[in-house]
């Protein structure tokens, strides 16, 4: 029974037209509201170019200025520092652009659910209620405070271990012990934290998206085993992993930049990172594709039920066809080709094939390719650090012969 102060599912869903219509699981939280107040985002516009320019201006340009003022002889080292430039000039813009892709991905999924009428009115009200709860998570101050604390904790614990592979521009010349230079301090306290905070925000928004998929998997979806997408009507969910692809690219780029630096500066070898690379690929697949497993049990049951249900119908139809056109064909030969039963049986056979081909994992090959590319592209410079490009190219050409 609904308590007096607790709105019913129907009331909650219909009370907020934004929830019943278009709603973003990305646009929210103190960081986003701060960007709104600073006019970095306006209305429905992300103003990506302006935000990237500000982020690069805040995280990268001061490093150049500080180094020129304090250690000008190391400026070339900073400009060629692969790890720093990957994070500031590639990862940060990719994370900002990734917010747009993540938003569009989940909005497209919700829009498709509504237009395809995959949920009954009562179940759709439950979905709207779940979205309303996720919007509250999206706007959570506590969540972003925790992200900030984790970022600072991670930076503090990793500062000592990273100093050994830092460039000359980031280290002070005073004393035998390693100390950060002014540019090194700025990178540690501002640039690195900016990058890590954006990474934390993107990961948090993806977690909210996973919560949405989990809630959706618990609803009574109107699925049909003969759907031509061969996923019972859930084939559109295959696009979901694309929302995390930019974040995957950033993580792999950052890890790859560290590996490349160790190969070039500390004589490490590719085989030293074999286990790490394997674990990285497994984690990426679990994070990106794992949420789709939530729908596998239902699709497995749908296929099993479909084979039984359509098998019964096929048996009855085939028996009637056999009696009429095989056992009692004599005298009806001229009518056979025009008989509606022929096309009906053919169409039914095609439908039954769809049931048999139903896949329990709504995987989209294009999306899978995008995720794989997000892993491979930033790891390629690591390979090129030890193996010449021409050797890699020859190997690829030989592989396709």
Q: Which pLDDT score is estimated for 175?
A: 59
Asked if residue 64 belongs to a domain, the reply is yes
Q: pTM for the whole thing?
A: 0.86
Q: Which pLDDT score is estimated for 14?
A: 42
pLDDT digits (tens, 9 = 90+) for 265-310: 878 888 889 999 999 999 999 999 999 999 999 999 999 999 999 8
Task: Centre a 10 Å sphere on the Cβ of residue 244 and count the other Cβ atoms it contains.
Answer: 27
Measured distance CA(270)–CA(263) in Å, rounded? 8
Q: Which pLDDT score is estimated for 313?
A: 87
Q: Which pLDDT score is estimated for 96?
A: 96
Asked if residue 201 belongs to a domain, the reply is yes
Which helix (H) or strand (E) is 192 found in, with range?
Answer: helix 192-217
Asked if residue 287 belongs to a domain, the reply is yes
- Tokens found for residue 399: 């592989």
Measured distance CA(392)–CA(256) in Å, rounded? 17
Distance, CA of 340 to chain centre: 48
Asked if residue 192 belongs to a domain, the reply is yes
Q: Which pLDDT score is estimated for 8?
A: 44
Enclosing domain of residue 174: 15-300+363-400
Asked if residue 205 belongs to a domain, the reply is yes
Asked if residue 354 belongs to a domain, the reply is no
Measured distance CA(194)–CA(88) in Å, rounded? 9
β-partners of residue 45 are: 42
- Tokens found for residue 252: 């792999």
Per-residue pLDDT of the chain in tens (401 residues, 90 and over written 9): 344 444 444 444 444 545 555 789 899 999 999 999 999 998 778 999 999 999 999 999 999 999 999 999 999 999 999 999 999 999 999 999 999 999 999 999 999 999 999 999 999 999 999 999 999 999 999 999 999 999 988 887 766 556 555 778 888 876 556 678 899 889 988 999 999 999 999 999 999 999 999 999 999 999 999 999 999 999 999 999 999 999 999 999 999 998 998 888 878 888 889 999 999 999 999 999 999 999 999 999 999 999 999 889 888 888 887 777 677 766 665 666 566 777 777 778 888 898 999 999 998 889 999 999 999 999 999 988 888 877 767 776 777 66
What DSSP string runs through 109-155? HHHHHHHTT-S-HHHHHHHHHHHHHHHHHHT-HHHHHHHHHHHHHHH
Asked if residue 141 belongs to a domain, the reply is yes
For residues 105 and 196, the answer to whether their CB atoms sit within 8 Å is no
For residues 29 and 37, the answer to whether their CB atoms sit within 8 Å is no
Residues, the chain: 401
For residues 370 and 247, the answer to whether their CB atoms sit within 8 Å is no
Asked if residue 25 belongs to a domain, the reply is yes
Distance, CA of 383 to chain centre: 25
Count of domains in the chain? 1
């Amino acid at each position: 029974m609904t308590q007096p102060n607790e709105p019913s599912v129907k009331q909650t869903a219909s009370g907020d037209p934004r929830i019943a219509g278009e709603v973003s699981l990305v646009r929210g939280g103190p960081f986003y509201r701060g960007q709104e107040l600073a006019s970095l985002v306006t209305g429905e516009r992300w103003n990506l170019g302006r935000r990237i320019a500000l982020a690069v201006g805040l995280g990268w340009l001061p490093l150049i200025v500080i180094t020129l003022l304090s250690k000008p002889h190391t400026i070339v080292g900073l400009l060629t520092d692969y790890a720093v430039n990957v994070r500031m000039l590639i990862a940060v813009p990719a994370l900002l652009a990734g917010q747009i892709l993540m938003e569009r991905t989940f909005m497209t999924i919700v829009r498709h659910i509504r237009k395809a009428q995959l949920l009954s009115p009562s179940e759709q009200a439950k979905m709207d209620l779940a979205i309303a709860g996720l919007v509250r998570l999206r706007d959570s101050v506590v969540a972003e405070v925790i992200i900030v604390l984790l970022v600072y904790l991670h930076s503090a614990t990793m500062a000592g271990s990273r100093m050994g592979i830092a460039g000359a521009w980031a280290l002070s010349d005073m004393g035998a012990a390693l100390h950060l230079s002014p540019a090194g301090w700025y990178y540690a306290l501002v640039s690195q934290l900016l990058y890590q905070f954006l990474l934390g925000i993107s990961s948090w928004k993806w977690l909210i998206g996973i919560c949405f998929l989990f809630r959706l998997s618990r609803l009574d979806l109107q699925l049909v085993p003969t759907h031509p997408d061969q996923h019972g009507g859930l084939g559109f969910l295959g696009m979901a992993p694309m929302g995390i692809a930019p974040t995957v690219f950033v993580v792999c780029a950052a890890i790859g930049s560290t590996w490349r630096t160790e190969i070039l500066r500390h004589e490490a070898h590719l085989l030293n990172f074999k286990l790490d690379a394997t674990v990285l690929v497994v984690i990426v697949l679990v994070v990106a594709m794992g949420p789709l497993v939530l729908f596998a049990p239902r699709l497995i049951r749908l296929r099993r039920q479909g084979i039984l249900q359509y098998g019964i119908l096929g048996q009855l139809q085939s028996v009637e066809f056999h009696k009429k056109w095989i056992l009692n064909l004599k005298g009806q030969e001229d009518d056979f080709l025009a008989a509606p039963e022929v096309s009906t049986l053919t169409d039914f056979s095609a439908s039954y094939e769809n049931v048999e081909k139903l896949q329990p994992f709504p995987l989209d090959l294009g999306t899978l390719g995008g995720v794989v590319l997000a892993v491979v592209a930033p790891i390629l410079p690591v390979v090129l650090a030890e193996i010449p490009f021409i050797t890699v190219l020859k190997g690829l050409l030989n592989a396709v012969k």
